[in-house]
């Protein structure tokens, strides 16, 4: 069932058992689906996000991860509010693009793509800009693989009493975090990242009290998180519009497999091992990472081209022939390519990858 191993999050490599669950058709309004699958997923997602579940709820939303980011920004920021976006990559920049489309009042603090968002800078900024009501940041910037200092940022955002929106798309389920402890008001992720489902929907973990403030705010019907939540809540797992039933069923299986693996901590350890085998192997071949180890996430790793004449297309094709698909780079300031460590991939796969790379001409 695998023409190649996807090292491209995402979509990413999923287990055969996750794929297998999609071989049946599900009725959207039957209890078997909405009560036993959708509602359980919603509850389990909140439990994955924090042990203090009372103040939080979750919303599933059709589309890719960006739909959920746009849905949150478009539903949470009211006229009179002002959003501060912290960006050190394409996904942070995309939040700015969303704010532009929606005509939302915002400021952007842009940092170098190879540097973490600076907590000191944010502290200084918030001290001088009292009109800011919400702060948004990407946890793991998949553009490079850099991990932002979520705890320090959360501390500052909360110290100034601002609402906190976190794009944890590529980290939730793979890097431990606690939304309640961090004071996160909206956390966004999607089916096809660290939970290891297939693409087709995303989800939002929301503080109930903040979600209540979203009623009537959105200028988009399909991206209204309050309306989506209300229908799911009152209808016990009912989606407003056609739900991606097969994808949701696959996600339920993926959640089960996350539990069987030992939860987020265990998955995080596996991703770290994947990353270690990858980086040690690549360094032994003379490759260098774009980022210093201190700021690198275990999610995805950027490597610099090994020399000026490096032909990524040929390298990519040779690896694909050997059963591995990798990612091109996504930054302008250096020639890089990226290799993902998340999905149903294991240290042994990275040992095989390194052997395959040894075998390539580049």
Ligand X SMILES: *Cc1c(COP(=O)(O)O)cnc(C)c1O
Based on the shown chain and the rule CB under 6 A, indicate whether residue 13 belongs to the binding site for ligand X.
no
Distance CA 174, CA 213 (A): 30
Give the residue, chosen from 13, 34, 65, 136, that forms a contact with ligand X under the rule CB under 6 A: 65
Token pair belonging to 314: 């040929």
Based on the shown chain and the rule CB under 6 A, indicate whether residue 342 belongs to the binding site for ligand X.
no
Total residue count of the chain as it appears in this document: 362
Give the residue, chosen from 56, 91, 172, 303, that forms a contact with ligand X under the rule CB under 6 A: 91
Which of 264, 266, 221, 257 is closest to 240 using CA atoms?
A: 221
Contacts of 70 (CB under 8 A, 6+ apart): 98, 101, 102, 220, 223
CB of 66 to ligand X, least distance (A): 3
Cβ atoms 191, 247 nearer than 8 A: yes
Q: CA distances (Å), 66 to each of 97, 118, 121, 122, 245, in order?
A: 11, 24, 27, 24, 20
Q: What string marks each residue from 201 to 240 as x (binds ligand X by CB under 6 A) or -?
A: ----------------------------------------
Contacts of 79 (CB under 8 A, 6+ apart): none
Q: Which stretch binds ligand X (CB under 6 A): 58-66, 158-166, 176-184, 288-296?
A: 58-66
In the block, residue with structure tokens 């996000």:
49
Q: What string marks each residue from 98 to 137 as x (binds ligand X by CB under 6 A) or -?
A: ----------------------------------------
Task: Please say which residue, 342 or 357, places its beta carbon nearer to ligand X.
Answer: 342
Q: Which stretch binds ligand X (CB under 6 A): 61-69, 228-236, 286-294, 327-335?
A: 61-69
CB of 317 to ligand X, least distance (A): 24
Distance CA 299, CA 194 (A): 9
Task: Please say which residue, 66 or 243, places its beta carbon nearer to ligand X.
Answer: 66
CB of 274 to ligand X, least distance (A): 17
Task: Please say which residue, 198 or 279, places its beta carbon nearer to ligand X.
Answer: 198
Q: Which H or E element spans position 19?
A: helix 16-20
For 119-146, what is the HEC assignment? Answer: HHHHHHHHHHCCCCCEEEEECEECCCCE
Contacts of 219 (CB under 8 A, 6+ apart): 74, 102
Q: Which residue is nearest to ligand X (CB)?
A: 65
Q: Which H or E element spans position 32?
A: helix 31-33
Q: Which stretch binds ligand X (CB under 6 A): 63-71, 144-152, 177-185, 271-279?
A: 63-71
Based on the shown chain and the rule CB under 6 A, indicate whether residue 70 belongs to the binding site for ligand X.
no
CB of 300 to ligand X, least distance (A): 8
Q: Which stretch binds ligand X (CB under 6 A): 62-70, 98-106, 117-125, 321-329?
A: 62-70
Q: What string marks each residue from 140 to 179 as x (binds ligand X by CB under 6 A) or -?
A: --x------------------------x-xx---------
Task: Please say which residue, 34 or 142, places its beta carbon nearer to ligand X.
Answer: 142
Based on the shown chain and the rule CB under 6 A, indicate whether residue 138 belongs to the binding site for ligand X.
yes
Cβ atoms 347, 273 nearer than 8 A: yes
Neighbours of 343 (CB within 10 A): 25
Give the residue, chosen from 190, 274, 297, 336, that forms a contact with ligand X under the rule CB under 6 A: 190
CB of 3 to ligand X, least distance (A): 21
CB of 9 to ligand X, least distance (A): 7
Based on the shown chain and the rule CB under 6 A, indicate whether residue 243 belongs to the binding site for ligand X.
no
Name the phi and psi angles at 355, rounded to 5. Answer: -60, -40
DSSP strand pairing (300-304 vs 324-325) = unpaired
Cβ atoms 68, 117 nearer than 8 A: no
How many residues bind ligand X (CB under 6 A)? The answer is 10
Based on the shown chain and the rule CB under 6 A, indicate whether residue 336 belongs to the binding site for ligand X.
no
Q: Interface residues with ligand X (CB under 6 A)? A: 64-66, 91, 138, 142, 167, 169-170, 190
């Amino acid at each position: 069932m695998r023409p190649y191993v996807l090292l491209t999050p995402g979509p990413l490599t999923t287990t055969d058992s996750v794929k297998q669950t999609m071989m049946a058709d599900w009725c959207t309004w039957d209890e078997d689906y909405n009560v036993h699958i959708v509602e359980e997923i919603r509850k389990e997602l909140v439990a994955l996000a924090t042990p203090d579940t009372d103040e939080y709820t979750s919303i599933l939303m059709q589309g890719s991860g960006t739909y959920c980011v746009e849905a949150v920004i478009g539903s949470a920021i009211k006229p009179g509010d002002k959003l501060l976006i912290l960006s050190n990559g394409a996904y942070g920049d995309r939040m700015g693009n969303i704010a532009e489309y929606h005509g939302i009042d915002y400021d952007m603090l842009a940092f170098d793509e190879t540097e973490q968002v600076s907590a000191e800078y944010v502290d200084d900024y918030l001290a001088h800009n009292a009109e800011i009501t919400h702060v948004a940041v990407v946890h793991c910037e998949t553009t490079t693989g850099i991990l932002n200092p979520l705890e320090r940022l959360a501390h500052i955002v909360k110290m100034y009493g601002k609402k906190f929106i976190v794009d944890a798309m590529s980290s939730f389920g793979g890097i431990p975090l606690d939304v309640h402890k961090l004071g996160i008001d909206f956390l966004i992720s999607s089916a096809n990242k660290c939970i290891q489902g297939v693409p087709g929907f995303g989800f939002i973990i929301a503080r109930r009290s903040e979600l209540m403030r979203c009623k009537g705010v959105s200028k988009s019907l399909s991206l209204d998180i309050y309306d989506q939540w209300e229908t799911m809540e009152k209808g016990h797992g009912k989606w407003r519009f056609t739900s991606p039933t097969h994808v949701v069923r696959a996600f339920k299986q993926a959640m089960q497999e996350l539990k069987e693996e030992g939860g987020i901590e265990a998955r995080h350890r596996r991703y770290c091992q994947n990353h270690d085998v990858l980086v040690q192997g690549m360094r032994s071949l003379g490759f260098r990472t774009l980022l210093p180890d201190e700021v690198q996430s275990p999610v995805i790793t950027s490597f610099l081209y090994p020399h000026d004449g490096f032909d990524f297309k040929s390298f990519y094709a040779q690896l694909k022939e050997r059963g591995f698909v990798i990612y091109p780079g996504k930054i302008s300031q250096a020639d890089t390519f990226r290799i993902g460590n998340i999905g149903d991939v294991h240290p042994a796969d990275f040992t095989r990858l390194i052997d395959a790379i040894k075998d390539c001409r580049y």
